[in-house]
């Protein structure tokens, strides 16, 4: 297929299209009250040969795809990593969804459960939309989490995992850093969902502005905060970090009756993502200390 040339700023084009789809798509509307699941997204980019992707094979496991591996599995063509780009986005939960979940102490609110279920269905469609958009322009692209090659598994090293971690990809793109609960704390907080696409469209990598992978968490910054641990009804968060087994058992067993009540097939309590200092922003104390700012590509 003949490639259609972009403007001088293909990054801006991608950001604009992701924002437009999020703002206009009917799939981003809640059936219960007509409100939006997700506010304006953040978008950023990474080079396919970024060294972090190879490091993830040691940090997460050998099974974790590099951009080159998922691209070649999808298209059967050998590609050098420096010919690929990664697009990542963060979908911030709307304020009314977050507000509803702040009130909860044991179970997720109805709106939160719907965001996890139906809001993620929107995210699946957003991934497909970005892939289709790039294909229309003559480029190849794959959304790894929508791919038949995507797998969830249990690793002896990190517990429950997958062969493509949206949060780790977002970190590589400079969209945020990890907190005590393993949540990604972004300029829009950690009450979020994340998505990504790998493509052979050349894109300028976004700057990674975080000092380390825990840079946005108050607990790791000065030890003053463990609010996410206090909010966790499963006791899955401690000073040692996040116990995935306890978290998963609570989300998939203890919340089983709530799924039927709320009319969803999947949920998570999300209490550690709301009524915490990093719910909708990087804590102000950290902002002042490091002078951090939002990712420029997403503004």
User: For residue 203, which of 292, 141, 294 has the smallest C-alpha distance?
Assistant: 141
Residue 196, in any domain of the structure? yes
What pLDDT is recorded for position 211?
A: 86
What pLDDT is recorded for position 295?
A: 44
* Stated length of the chain: 299
What pLDDT is recorded for position 253?
A: 86
Residue 132, in any domain of the structure? yes
Q: Give me the domain span that covers residue 67.
A: 10-290
Residue 212, in any domain of the structure? yes
What's CA 280's distance to the chain center, in Å?
A: 14
Break the chain down into helix, strand, coil percent, rounded to 5: 40, 15, 45
Residue 46 CA to residue 87 CA, distance in Å, equals 7
What pLDDT is recorded for position 296?
A: 41
What pLDDT is recorded for position 286?
A: 87
Q: Do 7 and 143 contact (CB within 8 A), yes or no?
A: no
Q: Do 31 and 263 contact (CB within 8 A), yes or no?
A: no
Residue 92 CA to residue 167 CA, distance in Å, equals 13
Residue 113 CA to residue 88 CA, distance in Å, equals 23
What pLDDT is recorded for position 23?
A: 97
Residue 16, in any domain of the structure? yes
User: For residue 191, which of 251, 117, 277, 106 has the smallest C-alpha distance?
Assistant: 277
- Give me the number of domains the chain comprises: 1
Describe the crossing of helices 120-136 and 10-24 by its angle, rounded to 10 degrees: 140
Within the chain, which residues score under 70 in pLDDT?
Answer: 1-7, 290-299
What pLDDT is recorded for position 3?
A: 60
Residue 38, in any domain of the structure? yes
Residue 125 CA to residue 111 CA, distance in Å, equals 20
Residue 295, in any domain of the structure? no
Residue 21 CA to residue 124 CA, distance in Å, equals 12
Q: How many helices and strands, by DSSP H and E, does the chain display?
A: 12, 10
Residue 140, in any domain of the structure? yes
φ and ψ at residue 45, rounded to 5 degrees: -135, 155
Q: Is the dihedral of CA 218, 221, 224, 228 positive or negative?
A: positive
Helix (H) or strand (E) holding 223: none
Residue 51, in any domain of the structure? yes
pTM of the model: 0.93
φ and ψ at residue 52, rounded to 5 degrees: -60, -35
Q: Read off the pLDDT of residues 143-192 as tens digits, 9 standing for 90 and up.
A: 999 999 999 887 777 777 899 999 999 999 999 999 999 999 999 999 99
Q: Do 192 and 225 contact (CB within 8 A), yes or no?
A: no
């Amino acid at each position: 297929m003949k490639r259609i040339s972009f403007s001088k700023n293909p990054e801006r084009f991608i950001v604009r299209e992701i924002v437009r789809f999020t703002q206009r798509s009917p799939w981003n509307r809640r059936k219960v009250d007509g409100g939006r699941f997700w506010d304006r997204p953040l978008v950023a980019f990474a080079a396919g040969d970024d060294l972090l992707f190879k490091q993830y094979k040691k940090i997460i496991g050998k099974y974790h795809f590099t951009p080159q591996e998922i691209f070649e599995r999808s298209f059967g063509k050998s590609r050098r990593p420096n010919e690929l780009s990664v697009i990542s986005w963060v979908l911030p939960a709307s304020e009314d969804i977050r507000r509803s979940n702040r009130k909860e102490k044991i179970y997720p609110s109805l709106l939160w459960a719907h965001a996890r279920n139906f809001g993620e269905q929107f995210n699946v469609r957003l991934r497909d939309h970005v892939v289709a958009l790039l294909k229309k322009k003559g480029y190849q692209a794959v959304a790894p989490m929508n791919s038949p090659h995507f797998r969830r598994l249990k690793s002896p090293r990190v517990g429950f995992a997958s062969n493509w971690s949206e949060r780790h990809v977002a970190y590589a793109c400079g969209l945020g850093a990890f907190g005590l609960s393993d949540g990604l704390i972004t300029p829009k907080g950690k009450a979020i969902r994340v998505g990504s696409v790998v493509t052979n469209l050349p894109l300028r990598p976004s700057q990674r502005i975080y000092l380390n992978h825990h840079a946005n968490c108050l607990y790791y910054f000065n030890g003053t905060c463990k609010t996410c641990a206090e909010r966790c009804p499963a006791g899955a968060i401690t000073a040692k970090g996040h116990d995935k087994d306890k978290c998963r058992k609570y989300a998939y067993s203890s919340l089983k009756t709530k799924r039927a009540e709320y009319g969803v097939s999947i949920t998570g309590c999300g209490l550690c993502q709301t009524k915490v200092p990093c719910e909708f922003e990087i804590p102000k104390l950290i902002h002042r200390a490091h002078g951090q700012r939002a990712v420029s590509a997403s503004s």
